[in-house]
Amino acid sequence: MAFRRLFGGEERTEENFLDLTDYSAEITSAPTEGGMYVKIAEITDYNQLRDVTNFVYDGNVLILKVGAISDDEETMKRVTRDLKQLSYDINGDVAGLGGDTIIVTPSGVKVDRRKYEPRSG
C-alpha cells in the first residue's frame, strides 16, 4: 500500500511509513511556558476520576476513555455529572466523542460540536 503526502505528492511506502498505533512515550517534563498537552487516560473505576481530572486543572486537554465502566449506568452518570461540574467550575468544556470517549478541556478551550466536512477537490 502506498501513501501520498497531502501536498507535494511524495510517495510513502510501508517501508518508510511510521505507524504510531503502538507508540507511547513517558512525558517527564511540564509543558513549555504557555503550552498545554493533550492527555489520554482510561479509567476502570470511578475512584480514578479525580486523579485524571487533575490534568485539566493543570491546563491540559483530557481525552478520557470510559469503555470499562460504560456498562455501569450509575457510575457513568456520576462520571458525567462530575465532568460537567468540573468544566463549569473552570470555564472549560466537556463533550462525548463516540460511545466510550469523552473530551474535557481547560479554561478558554471550547469543543466545536459541529461536524466539519471538508470540500472535495
Evaluate the CA torsion angle 86, 55, 114, 96 in order and state its sign.
negative
**Per-residue pLDDT at 77 exceeds 60:** yes
Choice between 32 and 69, residue whose per-residue pLDDT is larger: 69
Domains of the chain, start order: 26-105 (3.30.110.150)
What φ, ψ does residue 3 adopt, rounded to 5°?
-120, 140
Asked if 39 and 16 count as a contact pair (C-beta separation under 8 A), the reply is no
Asked if 97 and 63 count as a contact pair (C-beta separation under 8 A), the reply is yes
What pTM did the predictor assign?
Answer: 0.69
